[in-house]
Amino acid sequence: MTEKPEDKIADESIIELQPEMQVPPAPESPEMRIAVLEAELQEMKDRWLRAEAEMVNLRTRTKRQIEDGRLYAVQKFAKDVVEAAENLRRGIDSLPAREAGEPELVTKLRDGFEGVERSFVGLLERNGITRTDPTGAPFNADFQEAMAEQETAEHPPGTVIKAWSQSWLLNGRLLKPAMVVVAKAPADAPVD
C-alpha cells in the first residue's frame, strides 16, 4: 500500500491543529484555594438569590397581568354597553313629566322603560360596571370632565352642580367620565 502525498499532508495538518498541552498553574496554598472557593460560592449564592427574586417578581407581574386581563378584557364592549344605557336614560328623560291626568299609555310606557333600565343597570352592576352621579360632590378631574362653569352663590366653588352624564367604572377603573357643570364664585363675590 503506497501512501499518497495528499494523505501525508492531511495527517500533518491534523497534528498541527491539535491544541498544545497547557501547563498546570503553580500550586497554591490551601488557604488561598479555600478563599477562592468561598468567593465563588458567595458569588453563586448572590446569583441564585437574584434569579430567585426575579422569578418571584415575574410570577407576581404575570399574575397581575392575567387578573387585569380577566377584569378589563371587556372594556371596549363595556363602553358600548354603557352608551346604550345612557341612551335608554335619555329616552326616559325625554318622556313628558308624570302628571295626574296623563294617558294610561304614557304611564305604562314610562314604567316599562324604567323597569328595563333598572334591570339593565342591575345586570351591568353584577358584571362590575357601576355608575356614580357626581351632582353635589366636589369636582374630581380623575372621574369627571368639566363641560362648563356656572357662577352661583348657592354652591361652593368647585362643586358639581349639574351632571349631563354620569361616571361609569369597570371594576373600579374609569370607563367613561361624567360630563359636568362646575360651580364658580360669582364675579361680584368678595375674595377671601
Where in the chain are the domains? 74-184
Residue 85 contacts residue 121 (beta carbons within 8 Å): yes
pTM for the whole thing? 0.61
Helix or strand (DSSP H, E) at 31: helix 30-72
- Look up residue 47 and give its three cell numbers: 446569583
Interval 58-90: pLDDT, tens: 999 999 999 888 878 888 899 999 999 999 999
| Residues 6+ away with beta carbon under 8 Å from 82 | 124, 129, 131, 168, 175, 176
Interval 32-59: pLDDT, tens: 888 889 999 999 999 999 999 999 999 9
Exposed e or buried b for every residue in 73-90, given b needs 16+ CB within 10 A? ebeeebeebbeebbebbe
| Residues 6+ away with beta carbon under 8 Å from 113 | 88, 91, 92, 95
Q: What single-letter DSSP state applies at residue 170?
A: E
68/172 Cα distance (integer angstroms): 12
- What burial class does residue 162 get, using C-beta atoms within 10 Å of its C-beta: 0-12 exposed, 13-18 middle, 19+ buried? middle
Q: Is 16 left (phi over 0), alpha (psi -120 to 50) or beta?
A: alpha
Interval 156-191: pLDDT, tens: 899 999 999 999 999 888 999 999 999 998 887 665
CA distances from 79 to 84, 88, 132 (A): 9, 14, 15
Interval 110-162: pLDDT, tens: 899 999 999 999 999 999 999 999 999 999 999 999 999 998 888 889 999 99
79/133 Cα distance (integer angstroms): 17
Name the CATH topology of 74-184: Nucleotide Exchange Factor Grpe; Chain A, domain 2 (2.30.22)
